[in-house]
Amino acid sequence: MNCIPVAALLFAASTYCSAAVAQQVEFDLDDVLAVGETEVAYGLDLIMTAASPTRIALEALLDLRDFQERLPGLLAEFRISDDCGSRTDLTEIAVEAEGDVVAVTGLIDRQSFECNRINETDFRRGAETERLEVAFGAAASASLSGRCLTFELVDLSVDFADSVEDPESLGEDLEGLRVILLEVARRFLGERPLCLELLPPELASLDPVFKSGGPREIENGGLGLYIDGSIDVSTKTMLDLLRFLQREEIIPGPP
């Protein structure tokens, strides 16, 4: 996220809110963030309310519907595993928000191959011996710790994508794929928390404190993320913010 527009908004809002405790202001910001080599648009709806003479409460809603739309492409042909005897891909991903959870559906495509040993360390993959497509559905929620949101699975189901001749004989394969997907998803999500760095290090004195946060549905299935917290607006903090904005030429410098 671009910190400069947010910092300017904070300065304008904090100056206004500090005039009277009952005041409340709201800003809308549109910008882009980088996800790998892809630029993703987002919207930020920020509400600020004076909570005390030195603290402003923040309610923020991130509109991530563009990211939601692009995610299937970003994860296209995501490879879960690849070794001599098998290859497992993740395909046809779809993401939808449902209240305070994120629903993810897709297909697991597993191919089995003949595997010939060349020596103790090298193998040669042979012809395909079996192919199995499994549809999955998962639901994820998020918990806030400090300034980071960590997503975690709350539900996962798998089933054959197409009819199979003898589903009972493939029951162990189906359960094995579910266990693999569960392990990969939990590791992937656990290692990639979403940390809320809305401000540059120079503005650490704003002391942002986040009380809660998580997914929130926007309109019909749109992916959003809400954040509830507060920042410090003491005189020293406002002077730090003013100097930062002048240094970045967001507002005019001193005469």
Say which CATH number the domain at 142 has. Answer: 3.15.20.10
Residues 134 and 41 in one domain: no
Specify if 58 maps to a domain.
yes
Domain stops at, among 169, 190, 211: 190
Read off the pTM.
0.70
Residues 85 and 186 in one domain: yes
Specify if 254 maps to a domain.
no
Specify if 252 maps to a domain.
no
**Cβ proximity of 88 and 80 under 8 Å:** yes
Residue with the larger pLDDT of the pair 203 and 40:
40
Residues 148 and 118 in one domain: yes
Q: Can you give the pLDDT at residue 2? A: 47
- Tracing tokens 């650490």 back to the chain, one arrives at 204
Residues 47 and 90 in one domain: no
Query: Which residues form the domain of 212?
Result: 3-66+195-247
Average pLDDT over the chain, rounded to whole? Answer: 79
Q: Can you give the pLDDT at residue 97? A: 92
pLDDT digits over 74-84, tens only?
Answer: 776 568 788 88
Residues 87 and 186 in one domain: yes
Instruction: Select from 55, 46, 50 the least CA-distant residue to 23.
Output: 50
Report the Cα 27 to chain-centroid distance in Å. 22
- Whether the pLDDT of residue 7 is over 70: the answer is no
Alpha-carbon distance of 206 to 80, in angstroms, equals 42
Strand partners, 226: 61, 214
Alpha-carbon distance of 208 to 230, in angstroms, equals 6
- Tracing tokens 């409460």 back to the chain, one arrives at 57
Alpha helices in 2-142 (DSSP H): 3-17, 65-74
Domain stops at, among 144, 173, 190: 190
Residues 184 and 203 in one domain: no
Alpha-carbon distance of 243 to 206, in angstroms, equals 13
How many domains are there within the chain? 2
pLDDT digits over 84-103, tens only?
Answer: 888 888 888 888 999 989 99
**Cβ proximity of 188 and 33 under 8 Å:** no
**Cβ proximity of 26 and 37 under 8 Å:** no
Query: CA of 9: how far to CAs of 17, 136, 142, 160, 229, in Å?
Result: 12, 42, 27, 51, 16
**Cβ proximity of 80 and 181 under 8 Å:** yes
Specify if 176 maps to a domain.
yes
